[in-house]
Amino acid sequence: MLEGKVAKPRPTVKLDIQPTVYVVLRGPGITQPVVAFSAADYYKLVPRFTEGSLSHSFPSKSEAKIYILAAGARVPPEL
């Protein structure tokens, strides 16, 4: 995904778990991973999806950390 080989990932099965951590790996003016803890703060970081944005939401900090590490990036201190 970081290489841009997947234009849009397939949707995952809908679970009854609410996201609490939003990770932005790439977006407008973002050069390193940024974490938000509400949808409102997330949409301030990524107001609309573009080909240049890459982000995901998770129900736990642990999952968010794994996502960031798997991308080969440094985990922000707030996680």
pLDDT at 4 over 90: no
- Cβ(68)–Cβ(25) under 8 Å? yes
pLDDT (tens digit per residue) in 15-73: 788 899 999 999 989 989 999 999 999 999 999 988 889 999 999 999 999 999 999 99
The H or E element that residue 41 is part of is helix 39-45
Instruction: In whole angstroms, give the CA distance from residue 45 to residue 69.
Output: 20
Instruction: In whole angstroms, give the CA distance from residue 17 to residue 63.
Output: 13
